[in-house]
């Protein structure tokens, strides 16, 4: 499991996703500090985190999900991973499960690290214990969102890789992006996978603000 996730994490796309997430997290954390310094305790930091969360989820998850949708079975075979696994009694079917779980973990990690880190910055900027507690709960909600996004996108990536082989990324785009575009054109964006994740994030942000979704 650790080897599979490490191999996925070393790909160029996965590194790009982590870098984008870290950069955006740092930018929005800086904005939160500046906003808190200029507007005081009334600064709408939850809204800023919500905006940052949407950007982080898109730019951190997209490259990592594409990396996970590559033909990892062929890559592992060429690298001798399958032969190594066979010497330890692992069957090919077990390796598919390992790659699937590794995809979920890597995508969830790419989202969670910058997203929860940003939320914790707002906890540190709280002016009262009750506000800090509310923001801790918000951070936990964002952690749960990262897990949901990781499970969803990791499953789709693993499915696309296994079914599509070397065209796994094309299949992933066909499954995720094309329905999303059509749903947006029809005014039903939440009926797509990205739209559903965005709707879930909006609910969490609204709960963090103590209001209703926009």
Q: Which tens digits make up the pLDDT trace of 21-35?
A: 999 999 999 999 998
Note whether 49 and 138 are within 8 A (CB).
Answer: yes
Residue 90 has pLDDT above 90, yes or no: no
Q: What is the pLDDT of residue 130?
A: 86
Predicted pLDDT at 213:
44
Supply the pLDDT for residue 142.
93
* Helices 12-39 & 45-68 angle (0-180, nearest 10): 180
| pLDDT level of residue 214 (50, 70, 90 thresholds) | very low
Q: 20 to each of 15, 61, 87, 114, how far by Cα in Å?
A: 9, 9, 38, 9
Which pLDDT tens digit goes with each residue over 135-171?
Answer: 899 999 999 999 999 999 999 999 999 898 889 999 9
Burial of 129 (0-12, 13-18, 19+ CB in 10 A): exposed
Determine the Cα–Cα distance for residues 87 and 10; give it in Å rounded to an integer: 24
Q: Is the pLDDT of residue 212 over 50?
A: no
pLDDT at 3: 64
Can you tell me the distance from the alpha carbon of 32 to that of 42, in angstroms, rounded to the nearest whole number?
Answer: 12
For position 110, what pLDDT does the model report?
94
The pLDDT value recorded for residue 159 is 92
Percent pLDDT > 70 in the chain is 86
Non-local (6+) Cβ contacts of 210 within 8 A are: 134
- Give me the pLDDT at residue 81, please: 64
Average pLDDT over residues 44-61: 87
Mean pLDDT score, 62-74: 86
Residues contacting residue 176 through CB under 8 Å, at least 6 positions apart: 156, 192, 193, 194
Q: What are phi and psi of 212, to 5 degrees?
A: -100, 155
**pLDDT for res 108:** 94
Please tell me the distance from the alpha carbon of residue 198 to that of residue 192, in angstroms, as a whole number. Answer: 10
pLDDT at residue number 26: 94
**To the nearest whole number, what is the mean pLDDT of the chain?**
85
pLDDT band of 80, cuts 50, 70, 90? low
Contacts of 99 (CB under 8 A, 6+ apart): 4, 68, 72, 73, 76, 158, 161
The pLDDT of residue 20 is above 90: yes
- As a whole number of angstroms, the distance between CA 95 and CA 76 comes to 9
CA distance 119 to 142: 8
Looking at residue 140, its pLDDT comes to 93
């Amino acid at each position: 499991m650790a080897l599979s996730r490490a191999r996925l994490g070393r790909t160029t796309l996965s590194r790009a996703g982590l870098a984008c997430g870290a950069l955006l997290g740092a930018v929005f954390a800086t904005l939160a500090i500046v906003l808190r310094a200029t507007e005081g305790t009334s600064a709408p930091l939850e809204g800023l985190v919500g905006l940052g969360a949407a950007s982080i989820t898109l730019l951190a998850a997209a490259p990592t999900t594409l990396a996970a949708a590559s033909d990892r079975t062929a890559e592992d075979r060429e690298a001798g991973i399958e032969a190594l696994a066979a010497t330890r009694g692992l069957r090919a079917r077990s390796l598919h499960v390992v790659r699937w779980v590794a995809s979920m973990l890597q995508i969830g990690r790419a989202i969670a690290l910058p997203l929860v880190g940003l939320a914790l910055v707002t906890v540190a900027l709280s002016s009262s214990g009750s506000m800090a507690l509310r923001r801790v709960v918000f951070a936990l909600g964002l952690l749960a969102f990262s897990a949901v996004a990781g499970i969803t996108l990791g499953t789709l990536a693993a499915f696309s890789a296994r079914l599509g082989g070397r065209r796994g990324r094309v299949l992933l785009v066909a499954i995720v992006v094309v329905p999303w575009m059509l749903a947006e054109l029809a005014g039903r964006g939440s009926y797509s996978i990205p739209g559903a994740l965005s709707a879930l994030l909006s609910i969490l942000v609204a709960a963090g603000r103590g209001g209703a979704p926009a």
